[in-house]
Chains A and B, each alone.
Chain A
Amino acid sequence: DTAVSQTPKYLVTQMGNDKSIKCEQNLGHDTMYWYKQDSKKFLKIMFSYNNKELIINETVPNRFSPKSPDKAHLNLHINSLELGDSAVYFCASSQEPPPLHREQYFGPGTRLTVT
């Protein structure tokens, strides 16, 4: 009965590879997010989708491409991985859109290590 799930939990890969992280929520929420948490614990939003539509697109390299096949899923594909991409990536969801403010439920995180 996990609310927000991510796969894989750990991902170790070499520079230059392409990888994907999957996220699913069973809360019936309309909005989903991807966050990056670096080694200093800074949490920074990358993308947000509302009902499969991109509504927030922060300044991230275009090697990162989110895809939302339906409102319960938001996947993150990363091309040509670099050392600086190593971080924990969190998916989250909430019952919005604006101007409502609701709790964001986070997934367990995916620890990406690029070697």
Chain B
Amino acid sequence: GENVEQHPSTLSVQEGDSAVIKCTYSDSASNYFPWYKQELGKRPQLIIDIRSNVGEKKDQRIAVTLNKTAKHFSLHITETQPEDSAVYFCAAKGGGNKLTFGTGTQLKVEL
């Protein structure tokens, strides 16, 4: 089955700096890679996703890159703000149609 590894587990940045979270996956059949943000006590919510036929996708301050050969994908947040503080999960969906989540990254944006 799919195995998704996510690093780092915690990330602290100064407001205005960039944050990068990296994930690797094991199933070469995986073709859909969403990123979810979960604020404290709230539900996970999709912030961006990428499909395997695309190498990069950007939405305002958020971008995701995908390297299918190396089986890794990354989330980039620029100009971080305090409201970006949350737990971020990467995920991969493969041939079994099951979404496998990474272990999460606690991002803290400090003033």
Contacts and interface: CB of A to CB of B under 8 A. Distances in A.
A44 B101 contact: yes
Contact of B104 (A41, A55, A90): A41
Interface in B1-60: 31-32, 34, 38, 42-46, 49, 51
B104 A42 contact: yes
A98 B97 contact: yes
B46 A42 contact: no
A13 B93 CA distance: 34
B44 A90 contact: yes
Contact of A104 (B38, B99, B103): B99
A49 B43 CA distance: 20
A45 B97 CA distance: 11
Nearest to B96: A56
Main SS class of interface, B:
strand
A107 B34 contact: no
Interface in A41-89: 41-45, 48, 55-56, 58
Contacts of A96: 97
B31 A43 contact: no
Contacts of A104: 34, 46, 99
Contact of B103 (A42, A106, A108): A42
9 contacts: A41-B103, A43-B44, A44-B101, A45-B100, A55-B97, A96-B97, A101-B32, A101-B93, A107-B43
Interface of B: 31-32, 34, 38, 42-46, 49, 51, 87, 89, 93, 96-101, 103-104
Interface of A: 40-45, 48, 55-56, 58, 90, 96-99, 101, 103-104, 106-109
